Amino acid sequence: MLKPHEDAYGQMMLDYLRDGSGYEVVEHSDGHFGIGAGPSLYFTGYDAWRQVERDALALVKSRVLDVGCGAGRFMLWLQENGHDVFGIDISPGAIEACRRRGLANVEVLSIDQVSRRLGTFDTVLLLGGNLALLGPADRAKRNLLRLHRVTSPDGRVLGANRDWTKSGDPETRAKALDNMARGRFSGEHRSRIRYKKFATPFSTSSRMSPDELRALVEGTGWFVTEILDRSEGIYIAVLDKT
């Protein structure tokens, strides 16, 4: 759980919800800074989503766990379409934004804390690039096993990620090659979000290629059954138990 001074992500969302303001600065541990998508992305409706995201939601089964739910853009649509959906995020501000938008089934929780206490789910969402929340290889494997335990026998994971090996930026591709030479996921990196006086702690995100994902799931009970869209190095993977 993020402390109040660390919740840049949540404060940005609450400000946007209040008056449409906000911005997102991404700081990488190697000293690079970038401008993130900004809060408006987390509030977009179904018609503004990429087609691949709409295609992915058509594959959702029954009760849903949305990991890294943000301001609840996927949850709202699923709830309106008859799904029982539960959302978790490490940002108290993001969870508060969800509640203000009419989403009651939310909790401040990380993926590493998911347990059977939450019940059993038929679909786990890791959309919006959230496959990266699985963490580095050893932790990612444990988290996949954790998700296996809280899903039904025909459970499914729908996860999005970015493939750095397909990047059009030479510097990003060079980082990917260096990561792989060190035995890491190709897009493994440490970064944090800054907004006004708030800054999240640095955390490890694991961008990986579909092939790396296929290798990762071995022995976890999950199988990569489909890869949806790989335009601009972005893809959504479908993981099933059979």
Residue 51 belongs to what domain range?
A: 4-240
Q: Express each pLDDT in 41-85 by its tens digit.
A: 999 999 999 999 999 999 999 999 999 999 999 999 999 999 999
CATH of the domain at 47: 3.40.50.150
Report how many domains make up the chain: 1
**pLDDT band (50, 70, 90) for residue 242:** confident
Overall pTM > 0.85? yes
Per-residue pLDDT reduced to its tens digit, 173-223: 999 999 999 999 999 999 999 999 999 999 999 999 999 999 999 999 999
Strand pairing report for 151-162 and 121-126: parallel
Average pLDDT over residues 101-113: 97
**Cβ neighbours of residue 168 under 8 Å, at least 6 residues apart?**
232, 233
**Phi and psi at residue 53, to the nearest 5°:** -70, -40
Residue from 234, 229, 237, 224 nearest 166 by CA? 234
Average pLDDT, integer, range 96-101: 98
Phi, psi of 107 (to 5 degrees): -155, 145
Check whether 22 has a pLDDT greater than 90. yes
Residue the block writes with tokens 């503004």: 48
Please report the pLDDT score of residue 229 as a whole number. 81
What pLDDT sits at residue 230? 67
